Every structure is written in structure tokens, then in C-alpha cells.
Chain A
Amino acid sequence: MADPYRARAPFAPWDRRTLPGLFDVEDTARRVGNYKWAEMKLFEALGGWVATVPELDVKMRLGTHCYKHAWHAELWHKRLPELREMNPDRLAVPANDAMVRFVEALTEPEAPDQTIEKLTGVYRVFIPRFIAAYTYHLNGTSEITDAPTIRSLKLILPDEFDDWRDGEMMLQSLIETPEEAARASAHQLRLESIMIEAGGIAGPGTLGSQ
């Protein structure tokens, strides 16, 4: 065995993490607050919709996904005090008014024959936006100073991908006619338009500036 007292490099040769990151503490806290608000709105909507969808398989999936997004909201809630925000509710706000309108439009469908619209909003618009925002954050933040956020992102992202796949497959199995495809597209277009205005889950700059 090697001499345990021999000086070793503090970072192993395969550890290529670097210090620089795109976000300072305040930026990170603001983004995390926006994430928490958005995850909250998503889990509340999924919970509310369970009773309004007649398709039994969809009903059960929405119930399952509801918890996952609640857990994400909880992870962000717990991260905020670590980012010097001792009142986590203060930053748990929508990024802007357009995000508020987006959630209003997302949660508009209620009738039992609107499952396609409900799923389109969540799985073709909202969740892809989460995946994009979280991936950008993961790739851009400091790998050393912001390791706790990275850990949360790495726990959350697989859930988002799994739920997106579940939702997309449910949609593909529900959409049986060109008219239904058009309904999904029209709703997606409407929501995407508002989301573009919002600039993403964390507002303009969610994916950096081009």
C-alpha cells in the first residue's frame, strides 16, 4: 500500500470540476424560487384534474405525477434558506405576469372530454420547459460552490423525463383522429405563445441570453 502520508493532489486527475458558474447566490435563489412556484402550480393542477378525467389509467398517472412535482417543490423550498433566503415564501413567486397567465390558461380545461388539452399543456409545454430550465441550470452553475443545487437537479431531472415520456405516450394513445391532433396542436400553440412571452419558467434568461 502507498505511504498514507505522501502528499496527494486535492483533486484527483479524473475530477475535472471547476469553480466558475453562471449564477451568483442571489440569481440562484431567484431561480429556485421561480422553480418552486412553478412546481407547486403543476402539482396542484395535476391533483385537481385527477377527479375530472374519466380515463382510469390517466387518473392514476396524474395522481402519481402529482406527488413527484410536490417533492420537487419541497426540494426547492428547502434549498432557499441555504441561499440566504430565510423566508422561502418570499421568493416562491412566478417569474412574471405572463407565467401567471400561462398557469391560468394551463388549468382552464376542466370538462371530462378535455383530457387531451390537460395532458398537452402539461406534457408538451410545461414539462419540456422544466427540462430545459433545469438542464441549463445544471450545465451552467458552479460545479463546486453550488453542488447542493446540482444534487437536487440531478434528482429532479430523471422524474421530469419519466413523466414527459409517460404523458407523451398517454397523449399518443388518446389522439386517434386528425381533429384530435388539431385540438392538441391548437392548445399547445396557445400555451406556447404565452410561455414565449414569459421567457421560460424563470423568466427571460431562463436559457441564458443568445
Chain B
Amino acid sequence: MRKFLPADQLARDERFNTITMQDRFNDPRSALGTGDAATTTAGARQKFRLTPERRDASDGARGLMHGIMVGEIQALEGAGRTCWDFDTAGVAKTSSTGAHSAGAAQNPSGDMDVPFALKLDMARQCWDEARHVEISIKLSDWMGTEIGQFAENTVLFAAACSSDPVLRLAGVNCALEGLAIDVFTTMKEFGDLAGDPFLEFCEDWMLADEVTHVKMGSDWLRKVTENDPERRKKALDFQAVVDKLFSYGGTRSDSDESPIGLARRFRALAGFTDDEVEAINDVSVQALEERRARGAAARASADPASATST
């Protein structure tokens, strides 16, 4: 088995279809829709938080749950690959008589060995993510969705493909698992408002795991880069890029115009500072503004007279 598997090589059964992130967001059934659906015809701001009151709440919640499921599959795969792709620091790469241990001779990550304890955490994350896949499949079934009813994009796994394990932690554990905290909190509230204790119960359990994963990621990021400020900066920059990517169209922010809210309390538990959460909010609000501008431009080109009224 090779080290470093590209995202387009992920193994899937016949039910799965892969599309781009933009296409997924533009799926009219998606709760994360970022087109004109988020604004009134006049471009005025409107609440778009995923709640049972939304007309498209049913499809939106199903689509989001399916997105959670495929995201959990990729998170499982990403954590698993981190167990495999890197050698373990300190552990002999040869036997007592000099034979190379499996995989060591063909590792293109160079000297990017990872501590044994980090690998143990990644293995633990594998188990957690496997449970999350199980939970989200059962919840999808509960909500009346079949596997493959919505398409998948593999951006999450792509963030877990870096040749530097610290960048993987920054992109997946800090940025994407942070997003998962927001998503699960929104879905938990959705379950509460919809009178669905089953959904609320399961989301709360997954939320507990995600807080752990974010904390795990940020702790390792700090520890591994303790004496390497350049590497730490690179990792934090990558985290910001991933955060921005997943804020496309203002998907999550404090604004009710975003389908997903920012779970400030749980993010604080995971170790995010207020400034860090504020930065994510700023990125997303900026993306919201860009979305409004795109909507206004689209309306203006369709009907130049209406452009002046926005």
C-alpha cells in the first residue's frame, strides 16, 4: 500500500457520486445554498438559519445529514491515513539485523515522523469517526434519506492529504472539526426545535467527540511546532485557508443569514480563543457580503431597473 493516497482514489461503492464543493452548495436541496435563495428578490437580508421553520427545512436537514455522513467517512479516512502515511518518531525503521520495517523505505514525507502518542490520538479519532458514520447513517435512515441520495465532494479528505502532519491537524482537526462543532450544534438545536429528541441526543454525543478532536489538534499543533515558528505559521495559514473555503457564501456565522451558527460556547471548550472565533466570523460575514453582491449583480444584469433599488 502506497504512502499518501490522492483524494480521487478514495474507494466508494456504487451509490456514491462525487461533485465539486460549489456544485454541492448549489444543489437546490442543500441547506447550505448560497445562491439567490438566500436573499429576497429585492436583495434584502433574510433569515436563513437552518430551523424547522424554513420552507425547505426537510430537504435541507436531510441534505446536511448526508453531508455529515460523507464528511465523517472522509474524516475517518483522513485520520487512518495519518496513522499509515508517516513513520513513528523514535521507532526503529529496521529490525535488529537491518531489514527495513514496512513502508519506511518508501515514505515520501522525508523526515516528517510523528510522535507515537499523536498516532494513538489519530487511531482514537478513527474509532470516533467510524461511530459518527454509523450514527449519521442511522440518523439519515431515520430522516428518510438513502445513502447516495445527495452527492459527495472530497474537499475534507483533500485537507487531510498534506505531506506535513501538522498541516493535516490544522486543516482537519482545527478547521474542519471546528466547523463540525458549528454544524452539530445547529443540528442539535434543529432537533430540539423540531421535537426530535433522537436527533438532538445523537448530535450532542457527536458534538462531545468533535470538541475532543479540535482540542487534540490544537494541542498537537502547538506541541509539535513549539520550536518551529515558521512551520506553525504555515499550519495556521493553512487552517485559515480551509476555514475560508468552508465559509463559502457565508455558510456559518453569527448572522441569521447563515444556515449554520457559530457555536461559540463549544468552540471555547475546544480551546478556541474569542479572537479566533471572531476571525472565523469575520471571514464568513465577508463571504456573506460577497454573496449579496453577486446576487445584486445577477439581478442587475437580469433587470437593470431593479439594481438601483438594492
Contacts and interface: CB of A to CB of B under 8 A. Distances in A.
Interface of A: 37, 40-41, 43-56, 59-64, 66-71, 73-74, 77, 89, 92-97, 99-101, 103-104, 106-110, 112
Contact of B133 (A47, A60, A74, A103): A60
A110 B5 CA distance: 10
A108 B12 CA distance: 20
A62 B80 contact: yes
A56 B88 contact: no
Contacts of B157: 51
A19 B142 CA distance: 57
27 contacts: A37-B101, A40-B91, A46-B83, A47-B80, A48-B1, A49-B80, A50-B80, A52-B5, A54-B12, A56-B137, A59-B73, A63-B127, A64-B126, A64-B131, A66-B83, A71-B123, A73-B116, A89-B90, A92-B91, A93-B95, A97-B98, A100-B94, A100-B100, A103-B101, A107-B1, A109-B1, A110-B2
Given A45-B84, A70-B83, 4 more contacts: A54-B13, A59-B77, A63-B80, A63-B126
B258 to A, nearest CB: 31
A100 B95 contact: yes
B147 A70 contact: no
A interface, over-half SS:
helix
Chain A CB within 10 A, most for which of B10, B79, B84 = B84
B80 A99 contact: no
Interface in B109-133: 116, 119-120, 122-124, 126-127, 129-131, 133
B99 interface: yes
A60 B130 contact: yes
A73 B120 CA distance: 9
B129 A63 contact: yes
Contacts of A107: 1, 102-103
Contact of B96 (A41, A59, A73, A96): A96
B234 to A, nearest CB: 25
Interface in B210-237: none
A92 B96 CA distance: 11
B76 A60 contact: yes
Interface of B: 1-2, 5, 9-13, 73, 76-77, 79-85, 88, 90-92, 94-103, 116, 119-120, 122-124, 126-127, 129-131, 133-134, 137, 147, 157
A48 B122 CA distance: 11
A28 B150 CA distance: 54
A56 B95 CA distance: 35
Contacts of A99: 95
B92 A89 contact: yes
A60 B127 CA distance: 8
A155 to B, nearest CB: 16
Contacts of A93: 92, 95-96
Contacts of A40: 88, 91, 116, 119
A51 B83 contact: no
Contacts of A44: 83-84, 103, 119
Contacts of B133: 56, 59-60, 63
A62 B76 CA distance: 10
B77 A50 contact: yes
Chain B CB within 10 A, most for which of A49, A69, A70, A89 = A70
B38 to A, nearest CB: 33
A62 B73 CA distance: 12
A49 to B, nearest CB: 7
A66 to B, nearest CB: 4
A100 B102 contact: yes
Contact of B99 (A37, A41, A101): A101
A51 B95 contact: no
A63 B1 CA distance: 17
A70 B76 contact: no
Nearest to B105: A104
Chain B CB within 10 A, most for which of A56, A95, A99 = A56
Contact of B80 (A51, A61, A71, A89): A51
B99 A48 contact: no
B80 A48 contact: yes
B90 A48 contact: no
Contact of B124 (A50, A60, A70, A112): A70
B274 to A, nearest CB: 33
B82 A47 contact: yes
A123 B81 CA distance: 20
Contact of B147 (A46, A56, A77): A56
Contact of B127 (A45, A54, A56, A67): A67
A40 to B, nearest CB: 7
B130 A48 contact: no
